[in-house]
Amino acid sequence: MGFFSKHKTDEDQATGQTIPGVVEGKSSESTLDPLRDEQLSLEERNEEEVQYHPDTVTENAHDGIQKAEAVTLVWPRWAVYATYAWIWVCFFMLALQQGTTTLFNAAAYADFSAAPQLTTASILGTIIGGVIKLPIAKILNIWGRAEGFILFVGVYEVGMIVLAASDGPNGYAAGYVLYWIGYDAIYLILDVFVADTSGLRNRAFAFAFVTTPFICTAFTSPLLAQAFLNHVTWRWGYGAFCIIMFAIFMPLAGVFKYYQLKAEKLGVIKNDRSGRTALQSLGHYFHEFDIIGCFLLMAAFVLFLLPFSLNTNGKAQYSSASFIAMIIVGVLLFPVFAIWEKYFARVHFIRWELFRQRTVLGACCLSAVVYFSFYCWDVYYYNFVLVVYDLSYSDAGYMTQIYNIGSCFWGVVFGLWVRYTKHFKYTCLFFGLPIMMLGAGLMIYFRGQDHGIGYLVMCQIFIAFGGGTLVNGEDMAVMAAADREGVPMMLSLIYLFASLGGAVGYAVSAAIYDNTFPEALRKALPASAKADWQSIYLGGYTLQLTYPVDSPIRQAINHAWGQSQRNGSIAATCLLVLGFPAIAVWKNYNVDKKQNKGNVL
Together in a domain, 162 and 223: yes
Kindly report the pTM of this predicted structure: 0.85
- Asked if residue 284 belongs to a domain, the reply is no
Mind spelling out the 3-state secondary structure of 470-531?
A: HHHHHHHHHHHHCCCCCHHHHHHHHHHHHHHHHHHHHHHHHHHHHHHHHHHHHHHCCHHHHH
- 471 and 482 inside one domain: yes
Distance CA 441, CA 422 (A): 31
Report the distance separating Cα 489 and Cα 353, nearest Å: 12
pLDDT the model gives residue 496: 86
Q: Is 600 found in the same domain as 490?
A: yes
User: Is 360 within a domain?
Assistant: yes
Residue 531 belongs to some domain of the structure: yes
Whether residue 41 is found in the same domain as residue 140: no
> What is the reported pLDDT for 297?
84
* pLDDT score for 9: 35
Do 159 and 46 share a structural domain?
no
For 52-95, write each residue's pLDDT tens digit: 877 888 887 788 888 888 898 899 999 999 999 999 999 999 99
Q: Could you tell me the CA-to-CA distances from 147 to 141, 161, 189 in Å, in that order?
A: 10, 21, 10
- Residue ending a domain, among 268, 297, 332, is 268
| CA distances for 361 relative to 75, 246, 358, 493, 579, angstroms | 36, 37, 5, 10, 12
Task: Write down which residue in 237, 268, 299 finishes a domain.
Answer: 268
* Residue 13, pLDDT score: 35
Q: Round to whole Å and give the CA distance between 130 and 493.
A: 9
Are 577 and 403 in contact by the 8 Å Cβ rule? The answer is no
Shared domain check, 224 and 177: yes
The CATH number of the domain holding residue 422 is: 1.20.1250.20
Q: Under the phi-then-psi rule, with left for phi > 0, alpha for psi from -120 to 50, and beta for the rest, what region is 390?
A: left
- With respect to residue 333, please indicate whether it lies within any of the assigned structural domains: no
At 472 the pLDDT is 94
Q: Which residues of 335-362 are buried (b: 16+ CB within 10 A; e: fewer)?
A: eebeebbeeebeeebbbeebeebebbbb
| Confidence (pLDDT) at 1 | 36
Cα-to-chain-centroid distance, residue 143: 23
Helical (H) or strand (E) element with 176: helix 169-196
Range of the domain at 565: 356-601
Regarding whether 98 and 23 lie in a shared domain, the answer is no
Whether residue 543 is found in the same domain as residue 429: yes
Alpha-carbon span 324 to 330, nearest angstrom: 10
Count of C-beta atoms within a 10 Å radius of residue 34? 7
In a domain? residue 310: no
- Domain end, chosen from 235, 268, 301, is at 268
In a domain, 292, yes or no: no
Given a cut of 50, the residues of the chain with pLDDT beneath it are 1-32, 35
Is there a domain that residue 254 lies in?
yes
Looking at the structure, tell me whether residues 444 and 547 fall in a common domain. yes
Same domain, 104 and 149: yes
Q: How many domains does the chain have?
A: 3
Contact 166, 175 (CB under 8 A): yes
Same domain? For 255 and 389 the reply is: no
d(C-alpha 497, C-alpha 479), whole Å: 15
Do 40 and 132 lie in one domain? The reply is no
| Residue 580 domain flag | yes
